[in-house]
Amino acid sequence: VSNAGVGMAGPLECQSLAAMQSLMDTNFFGLVRLVKEVLPDMKRRRGGHIVVISSIMGLQGIVFNDIYAASKFAVEGFCESLVVQALRFNVAISLVEPGPVMTEFEAKVYEEAERADYSRTDPETADIFTNLYLKNSKDVFASLGQTPEDIAEHTLRVIEAARPPFRHQTNVAYTPMAALKHADPSGALMTDTFYKLVFKYDAVLRLSLR
């Protein structure tokens, strides 16, 4: 089970390349290093199961989560590319894709975001992040967040499955969000929907979550 991860949220201009590289080293290359260690023996034994804790943000990018989403997209692409070869050796790969989870991990990300210096971005972007994104994120967590125990139960079901799924989303509330991409290959539907949620209907969104 690969579960190492760090988070990052905020305007792109306010994040250093060193911090981005460190995040990718944990979230993506940490998984790669693990798989390189365990896969050869699993192939020799012709049996095994690699379970990767990914994220709904590996399927759908979310505003102000650019680098974190990129790391999870990398995880998803890596596993999607590897799974066919692995199946030839009777090795299963499963991606567990949670939405928000109420842990110290998430709390730390948002605490750091609230204390960060936004002088390197323009005032409008800083205002959007602090007064729209952070406020909405708190409502999303309060309404849709899952407990670590819930994610553990989902992961256990994936591990014990007779035919392990390649992808398993833990929160059905996020299925429509991920489906928007496939409904319109041009990306216009997804982009328009998220733009309106963030900039036009944010008050309605917060009220519905509460």
Q: Tens digit of pLDDT for each residue in 167-197?
A: 999 998 888 877 888 899 999 998 998 888 8
Please state which CATH number belongs to domain 12-209: 3.40.50.720
Cα separations in angstroms, 13 against 27, 37, 120, 191, 199: 21, 36, 6, 21, 20
Q: Grade residue 208 by pLDDT with cuts at 50, 70 and 90.
A: low
Query: pLDDT for 68-93, tens place per residue?
Result: 999 999 999 999 999 999 999 999 99
H or E element that contains 204: helix 202-209
pLDDT of residue 48 exceeding 80, the answer is: yes
Who contacts 24 (Cβ-Cβ below 8 Å, separation ≥6)? 67, 70, 71, 74
Cross-strand bridge partners of residue 167: 95
Residue 140 and residue 208: Cα distance in Å, rounded?
Answer: 10
Between 199 and 25, the higher pLDDT residue: 25
- For residue 52, count other CB atoms closer than 10 A to its CB: 21
Q: Give the model's pLDDT for residue 206.
A: 59
**What residues are annotated to the active site?**
68
Looking at residue 166, what is its pLDDT?
A: 98
Domain boundary assignment for the chain: 12-209
* pLDDT value, residue 113: 76
Asked if residues 104 and 61 have their Cβ atoms less than 8 Å apart, the reply is no
- Show the tokens assigned to 133: 């994104």
Give the Cα separation of 177 and 184 in Å (integer): 12
148-157: average pLDDT? 95
What is the mean pLDDT of the segment spanning 31-36?
Answer: 98
pLDDT over threshold 70, residue 163: yes
CA distances from 172 to 150, 190, 203 (A): 13, 18, 23
- 86-143 pLDDT, tens digit each: 999 999 999 999 988 887 777 777 777 777 888 899 999 999 998 888 877 777 777 7
pLDDT score for 157: 97
Confidence of residue 207 (pLDDT cuts 50, 70, 90): low
